[in-house]
Chain A
Amino acid sequence: MAAVKETVDQVRAIDVDQYKYGFESDIASDRARKGLGEDVVRFISAKKNEPEWMLEWRLDAYRRWLTMDEPTWARVEYPQIDFQEIYYYSAPKSTAGPKSLDEVDPELLKVYEKLGIPLREQAVLAGVEGAKIAVDAVFDSVSVVTTFREELAKKGVIFCSISEAMREHPELVRKYIGSVVPVTDNYYATLNSAVFSDGSFVYIPEGVRCPMELSTYFRINERNTGQFERTLIIAEKGSYVSYLEGCTAPQRDENQLHAAVVELIAMDDAEIKYSTVQNWYPGDKDGKGGIYNFVTKRGDCRGDRSKISWTQVETGSAITWKYPSCILRGDDSQGEFWSIAVSNGRQQVDSGTKMLHLGKNTKSRIVSKGISAGHSQNTYRGQVSVNRKATGARSFTNCDSLLIGQGCGAHTVPYIESRTPSAKVEHEATTSKISDDQLFYCISRGLSAEEAVALIVNGFVRDVLQQLPMEFAVEAQKLIGVSLEGSVG
């Protein structure tokens, strides 16, 4: 995807501490006071002209959050986060109004240009017909522009920022928000529910196959700012949508917090494909700075024969805490999780999935590829749980770890729980190293050590890359190579 385009073409010698997207944009912003309190929650809600019920919903979440404790079960270590030291709302000043491209701050457009995001519709149109992507760009806390809306509207597809959806389609938002990830789901999801600022909203009507890839592009720019976006995707009966998400942040010494919530809902025979290429700033080589990424993503296969597929390529963030999951509620519904998690430097990744089989003959498939280099720690944590009523359920997990060098670690923590004798649950796991012989073989054919590692790693993750839309896959492949530069030699 465009999110990582520049990287690859131009940067050869990038290291973990030479993060490509580490430019800071000088854009006037409109912020809430530092720290968190009911006043801040009210401030955010007021900024967005939200209906009363939404404010109540946020306040309820905030009050519950105060009673909760930060989870500590993940295999990640970081200093205590001071939630009063963070700004919870930051909006580029000039984007308050409705969003046609002409009204967007040119500085902002330049930022996205630097990132290679195809906001200019005509630029995208000039490309291949099949490669059209509609983009919703989120800068710090708010969505700044959404492209291709008219064309989508012809099909009845709603694609806009969630703030806008709350005003334009309150009945849909109210019906579905929090229905997959409840307000009290977990510490970070609850925090998000209180202070979420923006995100994307997608609604695909019955029987519609969304005519193009939908994409959101997230960037954290402001200092000490948390990004709490919330995405809600609803696919009505027999519809289909493919959604891409890309992320970057500037390079900073201090840590930045990111706590998103994504909810997907698939009705009978609907299919949602959700792909992420996450390239938040990972911190420098000594582990200074970087994004703390605490994300709750969950899909609900609410209808029979529905399907939700998560594909993620995680290369950034100092800390990743992320478990995109599927609730397989409808009979014959299917959940998939395809993951590549690359860690280098001092990065810590604790990621995986949960597949909850509730309906009959539900199927889940998990393919996880973890690559650890440098002094990083990379954990796969997954849960497959088969309910008593989920007769004939089947689940297959394949979890492979690849180690590069001596200083890193890979860990696999599967939880399997089956209450149905007729269920079939399989788990396979391997751990391997890039051998010196493999490296020498490639190098003796003329490849540099870094090209050799990138080639071997891309071979290792090939199954997952194939799940990504093509333009995305090519970029992701290069991004993985860039992320691992400096890991050998």
Chain B
Amino acid sequence: MLEITNLHAEIESEGREILRGLDLVVKPGEIHAIMGPNGAGKSTLSHVLAGKPGYLVTEGTATLDGVDLLGLDPAARAAAGVFLAFQYPVEIPGVGNVTFLKAALNAQRRARGEGEISTPDFMRLLRGAAGRLEISQDMLKRPVNVGFSGGEKKRNEILQMAILQPKLCILDETDSGLDIDALKVVAEGVNGLRSPDRAFVVITHYQRLLDHIVPDFVHVLAKGRIVKSGGPELALELEAKGYADFAEEAA
């Protein structure tokens, strides 16, 4: 599904290279966890895949089902099935959460040449997803992320994911700022979206999240490259030993 080959990317304004030859292959239905020390390039990877401005890809490729992602603008990537759950979801005052969801879904459907969703169908979809994520009517009515607690913001990201039904979900440190109860709700939401034709890339600093979202593969990202890959046990090893070894190895 997702194939990243020898990806190099730098921060445009600084010319500083962050990703230095990253390779990753993710197949449908799989969950890949990406762990690593601060500054390893975890968030940069998620931003580059989603198309956030400010990064320059200098080498390498990233394709989704054979489509060159790097050649698409961010909206087209979304329509192609890429979804980034933000580490810091952004507030949009005055724009109702439901309005936003519907506008986004319809924009993607239009881009794919599908008709707009009918309001009753949309409401059914929304009610189902909101119920599973314990999202209240009040939260749906409020402006996007405005005045939401940390947990509410992250749940709202998962709600968007559930409505937009992407092929590839990238979770950027979704566990940061969550207490254990909120973490469980978010994890259950993600697990509920697992399917044979959807893949997840879960970026996290801590092993804790992976107790709840059990990955098929764990990768260690250090200094802009994947330096080690393994199964879920690798996360436990990292939890015990820290990242010091990998910082050394990569250097």
Contacts and interface: CB of A to CB of B under 8 A. Distances in A.
B94 A461 contact: yes
A451 B94 contact: no
Nearest to A438: B90
Contacts of B74: 440, 443-444
Interface residues of A, number: 23
A460 interface: yes
Interface in B37-77: 50-53, 73-75, 77
A445 B104 contact: yes
Interface string B133-146: 00000000001000
Interface in A453-484: 455-456, 458-463
Contact of B94 (A440, A441, A460): A460
Interface string A410-442: 000000000000000000000000011110111
Given A445-B164, A446-B111, A448-B107, A462 B94 contact: yes
Contacts of B86: 441
A459 B92 contact: yes
A125 interface: no
Chain A CB within 10 Å — which of B84, B90, B160 has the most? B90
A438 B104 CA distance: 14
A463 to B, nearest CB: 8
A361 B51 CA distance: 56
Contacts of B95: 455-456, 458-459, 462
Nearest to B112: A446
A447 interface: yes
Given A440-B53, A446-B107, A455 B92 contact: yes
B21 interface: no
B100 A455 contact: yes
Contact of B78 (A446, A458, A460): A446
B180 interface: no
B92 A442 contact: yes
B53 A436 contact: yes
Contact of B92 (A443, A449, A456): A456
A280 B174 CA distance: 48
B52 A446 contact: no
A195 to B, nearest CB: 42
A106 B94 CA distance: 44
Nearest to B50: A444
Contacts of B143: 459
A440 B47 CA distance: 10
Given A440-B52, A444-B52, A446-B164, A460 B93 contact: yes
Nearest to B88: A437
B28 interface: no
Given A445-B164, A446-B111, A437 B93 contact: no
A448 B100 CA distance: 13
Nearest to B145: A441
Given A451-B103, A451-B107, A443 B93 contact: no
A459 B93 contact: yes
A459 B146 CA distance: 12
Contacts of B108: 445-446
Nearest to A437: B90
Interface in B84-118: 84, 86, 89-95, 99-100, 103-105, 107-108, 111
7 contacts: A438-B90, A440-B74, A444-B50, A445-B100, A445-B107, A446-B108, A446-B164
Interface of A: 435-438, 440-449, 451, 455-456, 458-463
Given A445-B160, A455-B103, A458-B95, 4 more contacts: A443-B75, A446-B75, A446-B164, A463-B94
